């Protein structure tokens, strides 16, 4: 299966368990890997035979910036579900959500979760 990757998309959202996170917000990064057959798009040079990544970006932006989730797991699940419902030619999607500066008094470069959802699981 072919892959389309959208790497390190940046958004500003209000996700988290702590009230400060919902009030102040923070930057989030999202990576997507879409598995689909890209052979016809490659042969025909036709955008209608693939997935328009600019459109995917806008859909992800709307989810990340338009709603508040307590858990980045829920954020990732909503992104995966949206992609699989919107793009019927995508067989599976891997979503990685990175919260680079969680509000804890510990020192690391962020936390990330990664999920993979397949069309068959819908």
Q: What is the DSSP string of 31-74?
A: EEEEEE--HHHHHH--GGGS--HHHHHHHHHHHHHHS--S-HHH
Note if 99 is an active site residue: yes
Catalytic: which of 23, 49, 62, 99? 99
Alpha carbons within 13 angstroms on the beta-carbon side of residue 42 total 7
Residue 71, CA distances (Å) to 4, 10, 97, 102, 109 in order: 26, 18, 10, 12, 18
Return d(Cα 62, Cα 13) in angstroms, integer.
10
Catalytic machinery residues = 99
């Amino acid at each position: 299966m072919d892959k389309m990757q959208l790497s390190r998309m940046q958004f500003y959202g209000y996700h988290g368990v702590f009230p400060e996170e919902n009030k102040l917000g923070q930057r989030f990064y999202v990576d997507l890997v879409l598995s689909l057959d890209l052979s016809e798009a490659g042969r025909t040079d036709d955008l209608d035979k693939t997935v328009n990544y600019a459109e995917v970006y806008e859909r992800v932006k709307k989810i990340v910036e338009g709603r508040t989730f307590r858990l980045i797991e829920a954020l990732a699940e909503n992104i995966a579900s949206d992609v699989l419902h919107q793009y019927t030619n995508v067989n599976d999607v891997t979503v990685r959500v990175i919260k680079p500066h969680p509000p804890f008094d510990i020192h690391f470069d962020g936390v990330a979760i990664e999920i993979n959802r397949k069309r068959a699981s819908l």
